[in-house]
Structure 1
Amino acid sequence: MDDAAAKAHLHGSLQQAREAVLWKLDGLGEYDARRPLTPTGTNLLGLLKHLAFVEAGYFADAFDRPMTEGPRWDDLGDDETADMWATADESRDELVATYRRTIAHADGTITELPLDAEGHVAHWPAERNPVTLHAMLVHVVAETQRHAGHVDIVRELIDGAAGRQPGNDNLAPGDADAWARHRGRVERAAREAAGRP
């Protein structure tokens, strides 16, 4: 696979994950889009906000291609979790627009630079710098796919909606009754295994 094909493959994988994250916000009200559903506060809008910061850091800042309108770590203050949740003053539309602007800027970096272009991630140790665009693409694809999985689970906890993308949920066939039976079977197996010596 040549560099152009490798870049296109990685970029396509990244775009699939981005679309999944955005899709999981469809049809939800403000509360459900931002409410915490794990002990660590994981929530849909916070994951999207975090991913905007990820792409700005790794595709803008790292390659000295600053965004004029984008998320900046310096704007978050002293709260080390500020990129993982939406304040009441941050509108959903504003955060989605920021993510889309960040994606567009990142796409420019990906398109314009060669895979061996060198950058620098300020918060990484010296032995991990400099970085290449190729390494950043792999890193951000992995991180975005990981968080797309989180988003999928959080959305399922909210209203039962599950699946990979519109028109291709990537789930085994079955209606609500079939999934309830499946869940019961899994629960019985877990209890049986837990009861063994």
Structure 2
Amino acid sequence: MTTTAKDLLHDYLRGAREALVWKTEGLSEYDVRRPLTPTGTNLLGLVKHLAVGESRYLGDVFGRPFEPYLPWWDDDQPEDVDMWATPEEGREEIIGIYRAASAHADETIRTLDLVATGYVPWWPSPHVTLHGVLVHVLSETSRHAGHADILREQLDGAAGMRAENSNLPERQQDSWNAYRAKVEAAAREAGK
């Protein structure tokens, strides 16, 4: 692995983070928190979950604890509290913690080589490298940014990786409706 490979992984991680945070912008406090799936998935919960993930995986694992300590994964906390925001936790607070955890993680990525070793006590094979952990965090962040994309589209139709320069084809609503109808017709035909 070269510095170029590390930079590429880091760039993708930064892009996924930006997409995730954008999904929370311009929504009411209710909409940014409300569960939109049967399992309770919600936008602010995804941000909170990834804040904990970055603080642990790209902090604690490499001997660089993030401050303030985030207790949301601790055994004495309410079940899955890292996946939703309590009424007392503000949106800006959670997003601020995510940005701070990301900045802390960025420093870990910048200062360590991809072959630097760490220890993940909750993994079956706990001895890891920065490369392996960076791929894991990128994968998790991208996965949850995809969840956020679907949640946001359900809320107000906003879709794509960014508000500007979307990665989706430019179409008018009539064109999207026709496209969706075509996909629906194909699904019905295949389901016969």
Q: TM-score, normalised by structure 2?
A: 0.95
Which residue of structure 1 lines up, in the alignment, with residue 37 of structure 2?
A: 38
Please, which moves more after superposition, 159-168 or 6-15?
A: 159-168
Which residue of structure 1 lines up, in the alignment, with residue 62 of structure 2?
A: 63
CA-CA distance at 1:70 after TM superposition = 4.3
Q: How many residues align?
A: 192
CA-CA distance at 1:13 after TM superposition = 0.6
The equivalent position to 1:180 in structure 2, one of 174, 177, 183, is: 177
**Cα distance in 1, alignment partners of residues 183 and 123 from structure 2:** 42
Note the residue ranges of structure 2 that are not aligned, 5 or more in a row.
Answer: none
**Secondary structure of the corresponding residue to residue 145 of structure 1:** helix
Q: Which whole-Å deviations, capped at 9, do the CAs of 1:139-186 have from their partners, x for residues lacking one?
A: 111111111100000000000100111322111221111111111111
Given that 1:49 and 1:95 are in contact with CA atoms closer than 8 Å, whether structure 2 keeps it comes out as yes
**Cα distance in 1, alignment partners of residues 75 and 168 from structure 2:** 38
CA-CA distance at 1:74 after TM superposition = 5.3
Runs (4 or more) in structure 1 with deviation over 6 Å come to none
Tell me whether 1:191 sits opposite 2:188 in the alignment.
Answer: yes
**Cα distance in 1, alignment partners of residues 121 and 9 from structure 2:** 23
Which residue of structure 1 lines up, in the alignment, with residue 96 of structure 2?
A: 97
Which residue of structure 2 lines up, in the alignment, with residue 160 of structure 1?
A: 157
Note the residue ranges of structure 1 that are not aligned, 5 or more in a row.
Answer: none
Within a 5 Å distance, the mapping from 1:87-166 to structure 2 comes to 87-125=86-124, 128-166=125-163
Q: TM-score, normalised by structure 1?
A: 0.93
Tell me the amino acid that sits aligned with residue 169 of structure 2.
A
**Secondary structure of the corresponding residue to residue 181 of structure 1:** helix
Within a 5 Å distance, the mapping from 1:4-43 to structure 2 comes to 4-43=3-42
CA-CA distance at 1:95 after TM superposition = 0.2
Q: Which whole-Å deviations, capped at 9, do the CAs of 1:38-69 have from their partners, x for residues lacking one?
A: 00001000000000011011011101111122
For the aligned residue pairs, the C-alpha RMSD in angstroms reads 1.4
**Secondary structure of the corresponding residue to residue 131 of structure 1:** strand
**Cα distance in 2, alignment partners of residues 165 and 148 from structure 1:** 11
Tell me the amino acid that sits aligned with residue 12 of structure 2.
S
Could you tell me the percent identity over the aligned residues? 54
Tell me the amino acid that sits aligned with residue 149 of structure 1.
G
